[in-house]
Amino acid sequence: MPTAPSLSVADLVREMESLAPPRLAEPWDNVGLLLGSLDRSLDGPVLLTIDLTEPVADEAVALRAAAVIAYHPVIFHPLKRITSRTSAERTLLKLAAARIGVYSPHTALDAVEGGVTDWLADGLLHPALDASHPERAAHAGADRRALRPARSLPFTQELKIVTFVPHDKAEQLRMALASIGAGIIGNYDYCSFSSGGHGTFRAGEHAHPAVGSAAPGNLESVPELRLEMVCSRAALPLAMEMLRQFHPYEEPAIDVYAREPLPARSAGAGRRITFDHPTPLAELARRLKSHLRVPRVEVYPALGACAADGADAACDKVLIERAAVVPGSGAELAQAAMQDACTLLVTGEMKHHEIRAATSAGMSVMLAGHTQTERGYLPTLARRLGAALPGVSCRLAERDRNPGPVLF
C-alpha cells in the first residue's frame, strides 16, 4: 500500500468511485471529479462538506487541503464563464488557484448499498443504533429494497453473440472469440454456453458447403452446437472478424442480441422498508429526531387518518408497517412509494402541493430538512475514506452550515 505522499487525486477518485459508483447516479446529476488534476498529490487533508460554499472554500485554502469532497455538486448547470460574478464562480476560482480538487458523489452515494439512504433508513429501523456507526446495523431486522432499483450492465456483457457451428469446430471458435475479450462475466473469462441441435440448408449453384452435399436441390441436415458468448460493443467488430475467420462455414448464421440492464434489489433511488411490527407515526418521528439530532421534524398525517381527531392525535394512532425513505428531496419518488404500498414517506423537503397530493392519496409525510437527511452520513464517509487512504487526513468542514431555517 503506498504511503500518503505518493497518493494522488487519482487514488481519491478511484476510492470514491468504489464507494459510490458513478453509474448509480441519477441521469440528471453531475457526479465525479469536477475540478482539479488527477496527478495532484494528496499532500494535504481531504475536506468533506455537504455544500461547497465560499466559507468552506476559504477553510480548504487555509488548511492547504488537497481536495474537497462536496456531496452536492458545485457545478450543476452548464457554465459559460467563470469570473468573480457569483459565489459559485468565486469558489471555483479560489480552489483552482490553490490547486484543490473537487469531487461530488451526490446521488451515487445515495443509491449505493450502505450509503446515505440506508443510513437514513437505519435511524427508523434501529433507534438504539449509534448514528455515527450506521454500518453496524448491517440492514438487519426488516425487509428493505430500493424504491427505484438501479439498473446496470457491465460493458463486457452489453451484447450476446450467438452462432451455430459443427461440434468439432466449436472449441477453436470459442477460443478465438475469447481471445478478443468475448465471454467475460465478472471475474471469469472464457464463459460460454453450448447446446446441441440440427441445422438445415440447401446449397445454391455457386455454394461450397464445408459439410454435407452441394448437390442441387439436396436438403442437408447436420448436427451443430449453438454457441453463445457475451461481448462488449467495442469488441463486436473484431469478434465478427474472428468469427468469420475461424468458422468453417461460408455463410455462418450469426445473431447479436442487445442485453437489458439488470435491476439491483439493494441499490437505487430511495428505500422501501417494512417494519417488524406496526409502529406509531409519533414513535417514528421521535426515532428520526434522535438519529438526525434535530430539535423537530414536520409530520403530515394522511388526510383520512386525522379527519376525526386532528393531526396531533393521528400521530399516536396511525400505525406504519411500510415506509419509503428518500434523503434530500423525495417528491420525485412519492408515486413509486404509493405504488409499493408505503403509507409513510420520510424525506427532507417537499412543496405544499406535493405534500397535499401524497396525504390526499393516503400516505403520511415526514420532513426533516434537506441537508439534515444527508449531513449525518459524512462522518461515516470520512472514516471509510481514511481507512482506504492511509496517512491522509479526512475531516469534516467546520464552516459547512445548514442554510436554515432559523427557529424562534
CA gyration radius, the chain: 28
Same domain, 297 and 353: yes
Q: Is 283 helix (H, G, I), strand (E, B) or coil?
A: helix
- Let me know if residue 404 belongs to a domain: no
- Let me know if residue 78 belongs to a domain: yes
Residue with cell 468565486: 90
In this structure, are residues 342 and 324 in contact, taking their beta carbons and an 8 Å threshold? yes
What value, to the nearest 5°, has the Cα angle with vertex 347 and ends 341 and 351? 100
Instruction: Print burial letters for 283-293: b (CB count within 10 Å at least 16), e (below 16).
Output: ebbebbbebbe
Closest CA to 263 of 107, 152, 402, 375: 152
- Let me know if residue 93 belongs to a domain: yes
**325, three cell numbers:** 425513505
- Let me know if residue 94 belongs to a domain: yes
- In which order are the strands placed within the sheet that holds 254-258? 193-202, 219-231, 159-165, 254-258
In this structure, are residues 239 and 227 in contact, taking their beta carbons and an 8 Å threshold? no
Helices (DSSP H) in 350-392: which residue ranges?
352-360, 372-375, 378-388
Same domain, 99 and 29: yes
Omega within 30 of 0 (cis) for the link into 248: no
Same domain, 283 and 146: yes
- Let me know if residue 401 belongs to a domain: no
**Residue 68 exposure: Cα atoms within 13 Å on the Cβ side:** 37
Rounded to 10 degrees, the C-alpha dihedral 306/310/312/314 comes to: -30
Same domain, 76 and 143: no
In this structure, are residues 297 and 304 in contact, taking their beta carbons and an 8 Å threshold? no
**48, three cell numbers:** 468533506
Same domain, 279 and 337: yes
pLDDT tens digits for the chain (408 residues)? 444 558 999 999 999 999 999 999 999 999 999 999 999 999 999 999 999 999 999 999 999 999 999 999 999 888 888 888 999 999 999 999 999 999 999 999 999 999 999 999 999 987 645 444 444 444 444 688 999 999 877 778 889 999 999 999 999 999 999 999 999 998 899 999 999 999 998 888 787 887 777 677 788 888 999 999 999 999 999 999 999 999 999 999 999 999 988 888 889 999 999 998 899 999 999 999 999 999 999 999 998 765 555 566 677 788 999 999 999 999 999 999 999 999 999 999 999 999 999 999 999 999 999 999 999 999 999 999 999 999 999 999 999 988 877 767
Same domain, 272 and 144: yes
Closest CA to 46 of 399, 398, 393: 393
Q: How many domains does the chain have?
A: 3
The domain in which residue 28 lies consists of 4-106+377-396
- Let me know if residue 406 belongs to a domain: no
Same domain, 51 and 184: no
- Let me know if residue 50 belongs to a domain: yes
pTM, whole model, 2 decimals? 0.79
Q: What is the CATH number of the domain that holds 49?
A: 3.40.1390.30
Same domain, 100 and 13: yes
pLDDT score for 262 = 83
- In which order are the strands placed within the sheet that holds 32-35? 32-35, 101-104, 67-70, 46-49, 394-396
pLDDT score for 3 = 45
Instruction: Encode 324-361 in three state secondary structure.
Output: EECCCECHHHHHHHHHCCCCEEEECECCHHHHHHHHHC
Same domain, 11 and 42: yes
Count of positions (residues) in the chain: 408
- Let me know if residue 402 belongs to a domain: no
Same domain, 11 and 74: yes
Same domain, 277 and 355: yes
Same domain, 196 and 243: yes
Last residue of a domain, which of 259, 292, 317? 259
